[in-house]
Amino acid sequence: MKVLFVAAEAAPFVKVGGLGDVIGSLPKALQDESVEARVVLPLYSSIDREKYNIEYRQHIFINLGWRTVYCGIFETEIDGVKYYFIDNEQYFNRDSVYGQTDDGERFAFFSKAALEILPHIEYKPDVLNANDWHTALSVIYLDDLKSRGENFYSNIKSVISIHNIEFQGKFNPYDMGYLFGLDNKYFDALIYNGDLNLLKGAIQLADRISTVSETYAHEILDPYFSYGLDSILKIEQGKLHGIVNGLDIDKFNSKTDKQIYQNFDLKTLKNKVQNKLKFQEEMSLEVNENIPMIGMVTRLTHQKGIDLVLNVADQILKSGVQLVILGTGDRHYEDALRSLEHRRHDKVRSLIMFSSEMSSKVYSSCDMFLMPSKTEPCGLSQLISMRYATVPIVHRVGGLRDTVEPFDGKNGTGFTFESFDAYDMLDAIYRATYCYYQERHNWNKIMKNAINQDVSWKKSALKYIDMYNEIV
């Protein structure tokens, strides 16, 4: 079987969020199961061509609406996976991946180019797997090519993977013809509540819809979680699969991670504390192995539950913990966290930055990892924290419900709370700190359960293959 992933980002080349991690690791996991997986990405100016040995292959021209546009094709291979890059400086020589005023046009070009390069690179996939709204148009363009009798594309099936339904690619209906070059036969599929909605169109036209956890697949049928698409998803529910994300366990590995102070694994779990002591020293916090440290590595947005933490920050600190929060995002959250650190400099560090090295230190040094997300399609941070024997405290929503088992005295990998409420979260933190201080034998058990948890892609890759086999 051949599968082509079309995505706006993929680690290690370019990564903004969890999508980058997924596209950087899922194709490799599929390759391990004898699927020939390849990836198409935009060639952003931020991607280091020399570092990744990205080489020019050829160029073609793409017709997009009323324009004919240059399309360079570049290629490299990492871990046995071939990556193709679409080059056009007008669209991709920018200072950021997303958030440009012409994102609709940029990703329309990319989505169309991802299909039109296929005969030129002599690769005909069985399945095209698009990801989020940025590549949703590739599903629509594939349908269009089939309807025009283009034989090369006739047997290619399509999947749209939803990583975060909040972002749907909404544009002016006028753009459908003028900008995207689609005729009126797609009006019903693409127009929704007065907008051109690319994700909605892909949901209707794709052969299958996947999302990144089983719970999230149920949640997005509910208006609370769906951002307006629940009625469409209920109609298409028969095509919907929830498959939880995995991790690249070679990359996130406490035994081999070169960015942490002291490596450890299940057999040498006692060495983990050395990371905390060194980190406390680096952060100018009280150096004491008996003080539990709670960490967060997160985008500072409403979705991530930062409000809950700020509302009860003093009560959290009264439980006898140190709190370290790493991330960037909305300005008012950044300022509020700086203010909290200033006020409680004895116990709080707000690291307003993005740093891979610093995130590894937080994951490995902390005793607990807090994820109070309002919504969380899958979440990778809780999986990463478990790889470092750092016990997650999570809101039971989306993928957090699917991946963190509440500790019941014997089994379980973390502590959970049911409602999106600051005091419900506080209760979970109190339960975790009580266990840490008063039931150290149980705490050690949870740590061992967490680091033993299989968070690899293996099981999920097999579920993707099952989904592909339904349509091929």
User: Given CA atoms 270, 458, 9, 37 in this order, what sign does their dihedral have?
Assistant: positive
Dihedral (CA of 356, 360, 362, 363) sign: positive
Q: Going residue by residue through the chain, which has 472 residues, state the pLDDT in tens, using 9 for 90 and above.
A: 999 999 999 999 999 888 999 999 999 999 999 999 999 999 999 999 999 999 999 999 999 988 999 999 999 999 999 999 999 999 999 999 999 999 999 999 999 999 999 999 999 999 999 999 999 999 999 999 999 999 999 999 999 999 999 999 999 998 898 889 999 999 999 999 999 999 999 999 999 999 999 999 999 999 999 999 999 999 999 999 999 999 999 999 999 999 999 999 999 999 999 999 999 999 999 999 999 999 999 999 999 999 999 999 999 999 999 999 999 999 999 999 999 999 999 999 999 998 989 999 999 999 999 999 999 999 999 999 999 999 999 999 999 999 999 999 889 999 999 999 999 999 999 999 999 999 999 999 999 999 999 999 999 999 999 999 999 9
Work out the angle at residue 146's Cα, subtended by the Cα atoms of residues 144 and 152, and round it to the nearest 5 degrees.
125
* Angstrom distance (rounded) from CA 375 to CA 397: 6
The CATH number of the domain covering residues in 2-246+458-471: 3.40.50.2000
φ/ψ bin of 327: left (φ > 0), alpha (ψ from -120 to 50), beta (otherwise): left
The residue among 333, 385, 386 whose CA lies nearest residue 359 is: 385
Dihedral of CA 231/239/144/22: which sign? positive
DSSP element (H, E) containing 195: strand 195-197
Look up residue 340 and give its amino acid.
Answer: L
Measuring CA to CA, how many Å separate 167 from each of 136, 229, 244, 356? 11, 11, 19, 25
Distances (CA, A) of 51 to 4, 259, 278: 24, 20, 32
Give the chain's length: 472
d(CA 181, CA 45) in angstroms, rounded, equals 26
Q: Are 404 and 414 in contact (CB under 8 A)?
A: yes
- Segments of the chain assigned to CATH 3.40.50.2000: 2-246+458-471, 269-452
pTM of the model: 0.93
Work out the angle at residue 213's Cα, subtended by the Cα atoms of residues 212 and 214, and round it to the nearest 5 degrees. Answer: 140
Identity (one letter) of the amino acid at 200?
K
Cβ 453 vs Cβ 385: under 8 Å: no
Q: Which fold has domain 269-452?
A: Rossmann fold (3.40.50)
Full DSSP string of 115-176:
HHTHHHHT---SEEEEETGGGHHHHHHHHHHHHTT-GGGTT-EEEEEES-TT---EE-TTHH
Q: At what angle do helices 18-32 and 458-471 cross, to 10 degrees?
A: 80
Other C-beta atoms closer than 10 Å to the C-beta of 314 total 11
Q: Provide the CA 32 distance to its chain's centre, in angstroms.
A: 21
Neighbours of 90 (CB within 10 A): 12
Q: Which residues, 6+ apart, have CB-to-CB distance to 382 below 8 Å?
A: 369, 371, 392, 394, 399, 400, 403, 404, 414
